Structure 1
Amino acid sequence: MRFKGTFNFVHQSKYFFIFSIVVTILGVITLSVFGLNYGVDFSSGTNVDITVKQEVKKEQVEEMLATFQQSKAPVVTPGSERLNIRFNDVLSDQQQNELKAAFEKISPGASFEMNVVDVEIAKELQRNAIWAVLLSSIGIIIYVSIRFEWRFAVSAVVALLHDAFMVISIFSIFRLEVNLPFIIAILTIIGYSINDTIVIFDRVRENLRFAKVRNWDDLAHLVNDSIYQTLTRSINTVLTVLFAAACLFIFGSESIKMFSLAILIGLGFGAYSSIFIASPLWAVLKNKELKKPKAAAKPKQA
C-alpha cells in the first residue's frame, strides 16, 4: 500500500517530536521563572468594568488612580465605550464609592460593575480549573480506550495535553492575562483537538482492517494514507473555526480578547498535533507490538 501524497508524515515525525519537545522545555522553564499572569479570577483583587458615554483616555484614568494607595498600580485596559480597571487589592465599600465619585468627574454618567475576589475564592478557582482539565483528560482516555485501543488513547491524550501546554506557555512568555474565559478556551481546545484526532484515528482503524501490516514501512504507509484521506477535512475545519475566532479577536470586546487569542493559538496547535504528533506517535507505539516475537504454536498431541 502506497500513500497518495508526496510528504511522509511518519518518517519526518522525529523533527516534529523534537520541535514539540524543545517548545515544551522552553515552556517549563518560562513557567518556572515567570509563572502565569493571573487575572482577578485566580488572584485576589477587584475587577472594575466601566461603561462610559464618551471615550476616556488612559492617561486620565491613570492620573485619577494615582490618588488611590495600592500595593501595586492598577492595570487599565481602555476601550471606546468600555474600560476595565484591575486592582490587585480588594477594595472596601468606601474605596469603591470613592472610585465612582472620582471617575464621575472625568466621565459623568458612567455605569460601574465591580467583581471582588478574595484569596480563598481565588485558590478554590485555581483548584477547580486544574480538576476540570484533569477529569476531562481522564474521561477522554477511558472513551478512546473503549472505542479504539490504549495506543490510540495514549497518543490522543499526549496530543491534547501538548496543545493545552503550548497555549499556557505562550501566555506565560508574553505575560498575557489568565482568567476564567482562558480556562474555558483550554477546555474548548481539548475538545477540538480530540475531535480532530479521532477523525484520523477512525480512518486508521478502518484502513487497518484491510491492510497487511508486517513491518514499519507498511505501518508508515497506512498512517500516511489515512492522514491524506482526512487532510482536506482537517484543513477546511480548522480554517473555518480560525476565521470565526479571528473575527471575535478583532471585532470582539476587551472582555473576550484573551479568550479569542487562546482559541486561535490552540486551534492552530490542535490541527498540528493531530497530524504531526498523535498519528505518528500511534505508529511508533504500534511498531513496538510488531517487533515483539510471537509465541510459537504448541505441537498437537498425538
Structure 2
Amino acid sequence: MNYNTKYQTKIRFDFVRNRNKFFAFSIALTIAGILSLLIFNLNYGVDFKAGTNMDISLSGSSITQDEAKQLLAEAGYEDVTPTVGGNRGERVTVRFETVLEQSETNHIMKLFKDKYGEDVSSEINIVSPDMARELGIKTIFAIIIASVAIMLYVMLRFEWRMALAMNIAILYDAFVVVAIFSIFRLQVDLPFIAAVLTTIGYSINDKIVIFDRIRENMRFNKVKNFDQLAELVNASIWQTMARNIYTVLTVVIVAVCLFLFGSESIKLFSLAKIIGLLSGAYSTICIASQLWLVMKNKQKPNKQAVKAQSAS
C-alpha cells in the first residue's frame, strides 16, 4: 500500500497494472457464457415459451411439496415439480410446459378440492406461442433501447470514449447474469428480465461516479504520458472506492435477505440482482475504467497542444 500525495489518496492495489488479468477473466467468462447459450440455450419459464401457470390457494389448509406432487401425478402429470409457498404452505404454484385445456385444469382443481375442500381457488395464466415470441422480442428491444439511451446520455455529458467503455461494461454486466443463468440452468422469466434491466440502472450509476471523478482529476492535472494517465485512473478508482462499495453493499444486503427469506417466486429475481450488482461493481473498476484508459492512450495528440508544448 502507498499514499499518492498528488491525488491525496491511498493506493492499496494497482488495478491498472493488473488490467490484462481482468480482461482475460472477463473474456473467458464471456466465452463460457456464449458456449453455454449456443449448446444449452436458456431455461425459459412459461413467460417466454408456450405453457400454463397455475397458482392454487388452499384457503387455510397446508400442503407439502410431496403431497402436491402426488395429486398432480394422479392427474397424469408425473414430471411436473410444484412449488409450495405462503406462510403455512397454503399456496401451490405449478408450471406446465404445454397449454392446458380447460377440462384438464378443471380435473386438477377437482383433485385438490376433493382433498382440501371447496374453498380451494386457482389463478390460471396461459401463454400462447405467439405471446411468448412477442415477449422475447420486446425484451431484446428493451435492452437495446436502454443501452443506446445510456450511450447517448454519456456522450453528451462526458465523451464518446467514456460512453463506449461504459456501454461495453454495462452490456457485459447484463450478459454475465444471462450467462450464469444459462450455465446453471436457472429459470428465466419476466422477473429475471426486470432484474437485468435494474442491473443496468445500478451499473450505470457506479460508472458515472468514477468517470466523473476521472474527468475532474483530468481538469486539474496535466497528463502527458501513459504512466501519468494510469496514475490518474488508479487514484480516481480509490477516491470513489468507498462510495461504490457502500452503495452496492446496501442493495446487495437487501437482495440477499430477499433471496434467503423471500418466497420462492422472487428467489431467482433476487439471485439475478445479486449477480448483477456484484458484476456491476467489478466491471466499473476492472473493465470500464481500464477500457477507457486503453482507448485514451491511443488517442492522437491534438496538433495545437503539440505546438504549444514544443514552443514552451
Q: Does TM-score exceed 0.5, indicating one fold?
A: yes
Correspondence 1:111 to 2:111:
no
TM-fit CA distance, 1:63: 2.2
For 2:222, the equivalent position in structure 1 comes to 212
For 1:88, the equivalent position in structure 2 comes to 97
* Deviations, residues 33-73 of structure 1 (Å, cap 9, x unaligned): 11101111000100111223233122222222224456x93
> Identical aligned pairs, as a percentage?
51
TM-fit CA distance, 1:285: 0.6
Cα pair 1:56 1:107 within 8 Å, conserved: no
Q: Which moved more, 1:269-278 or 1:101-110?
A: 101-110
Correspondence 1:65 to 2:72:
yes
Give the letter for the 1:66 counterpart: A
For 1:142, the equivalent position in structure 2 comes to 152
Unaligned runs of 5+ in 2: 1-5, 308-312
Separation (CA, whole Å) in 2 of partners of 1:110 and 1:177:
28
For 1:247, the equivalent position in structure 2 comes to 257
TM-fit CA distance, 1:193: 0.3
Cα pair 2:174 2:276 within 8 Å, conserved: yes
1:133 to 143, 146, 159: 143
Correspondence 1:33 to 2:33:
no
SS class of match (2:125): strand
Cα pair 2:68 2:92 within 8 Å, conserved: no
Separation (CA, whole Å) in 1 of partners of 2:82 and 2:126:
16
2:83 to 64, 73, 77: 77
* Deviations, residues 215-244 of structure 1 (Å, cap 9, x unaligned): 111011111111111110001011100011
Q: How does 1:182-221 map to 2 (within 5 A)?
A: 182-221=192-231
Cα pair 1:137 1:157 within 8 Å, conserved: yes
Q: Which moved more, 1:122-131 or 1:42-51?
A: 42-51
Separation (CA, whole Å) in 2 of partners of 1:193 and 1:246:
18
Give the letter for the 1:130 counterpart: I
Runs of 4+ in 1 over 6 A off after TM superposition: none
Cα pair 2:170 2:204 within 8 Å, conserved: yes
SS class of match (1:142): helix
* Deviations, residues 146-169 of structure 1 (Å, cap 9, x unaligned): 110110001111111111111101
2:18 to 12, 27, 30: 12
Change in CA separation of 1:17 and 1:4 when aligned onto 2, cut-off 3 Å: same
Separation (CA, whole Å) in 2 of partners of 1:282 and 1:144:
13
* Deviations, residues 69-102 of structure 1 (Å, cap 9, x unaligned): 56x9323122323221001111111111111111
Separation (CA, whole Å) in 2 of partners of 1:117 and 1:83:
19
For 2:166, the equivalent position in structure 1 comes to 156
For 1:23, the equivalent position in structure 2 comes to 29
SS class of match (1:55): coil
Give the letter for the 1:214 counterpart: K
Give the letter for the 2:84 counterpart: P
For 2:277, the equivalent position in structure 1 comes to 267
Give the letter for the 1:170 counterpart: I
Unaligned runs of 5+ in 1: 298-302
Q: How does 1:216-227 map to 2 (within 5 A)?
A: 216-227=226-237
Separation (CA, whole Å) in 2 of partners of 1:20 and 1:49:
40
* Deviations, residues 99-142 of structure 1 (Å, cap 9, x unaligned): 11111233333321111000000000000000000000000111
Separation (CA, whole Å) in 2 of partners of 1:273 and 1:180:
25
Separation (CA, whole Å) in 1 of partners of 2:280 and 2:62:
38
Separation (CA, whole Å) in 1 of partners of 2:53 and 2:206:
37
Separation (CA, whole Å) in 2 of partners of 1:106 and 1:91:
22
Q: Which moved more, 1:152-161 or 1:89-98?
A: 89-98
Separation (CA, whole Å) in 2 of partners of 1:59 and 1:76:
9
TM-fit CA distance, 1:246: 1.1
For 1:300, the equivalent position in structure 2 comes to none
TM-fit CA distance, 1:255: 1.5
SS class of match (1:192): helix
Give the letter for the 1:288 counterpart: K
Separation (CA, whole Å) in 1 of partners of 2:261 and 2:114:
30
Separation (CA, whole Å) in 2 of partners of 1:106 and 1:262:
37
Cα pair 2:75 2:107 within 8 Å, conserved: no
What is the Cα-based RMSD across aligned positions, in Å? Answer: 1.7
SS class of match (1:8): coil
Separation (CA, whole Å) in 2 of partners of 1:34 and 1:278:
29
TM-score (norm 1): 0.93
Give the letter for the 1:76 counterpart: P
SS class of match (1:289): coil
Give the letter for the 1:260 counterpart: S
